[in-house]
Amino acid sequence: MTLPPKVTDRAFARLKEICEATGEQKALRVAVEGGGCSGFQYDIRLDDPAGDDLILEQDGAQVLVDAVSLPFLQNAVIDYTEELIGARFVIQNPNATSSCGCGTSFSI
């Protein structure tokens, strides 16, 4: 059984903070594109919903996944992490067979 991606409470909370700081109510788009070091790469940006998007919502914060990217993100976890090297949204993807050290490129 395939499941849509899960968004952690921490990722939703950080997205809400970003929207409050910018004064804009944008959603976080998580997409998969061809390219990168390993064949596919994540495109994570603030955006507005489109007609074919899966919308994951919590406390007014929204995460969007387009229909083309959805199969690549089945059962994935979208999180937010703060480390010494910086803070960023990260994706833990069980579908990826390998990934690049940059954390945004993967292969299936």
Confidence of residue 95 (pLDDT cuts 50, 70, 90): confident
Confidence of residue 86 (pLDDT cuts 50, 70, 90): confident
1 occurs within a structural domain? no
Name the domain count of the chain: 1
88 occurs within a structural domain? yes
Segment (H or E) for 1: none
Segment (H or E) for 21: helix 9-22
- Rounded to whole angstroms, the Cα distance separating 43 from 33 reads 7
99 occurs within a structural domain? yes
Domain extent for 31: 6-107
Q: Give 51-97 as a DSSP string.
A: TT-EEEEETTEEEEE-TTTGGGGTT-EEEEEEETTEEEEEEE-TT-S
14 occurs within a structural domain? yes
Per-residue pLDDT tens for 24-78?
999 999 998 877 566 778 899 999 999 999 999 999 999 999 999 999 899 999 9
Q: What is the CATH number of the domain that holds 76?
A: 2.60.300.12
24 occurs within a structural domain? yes
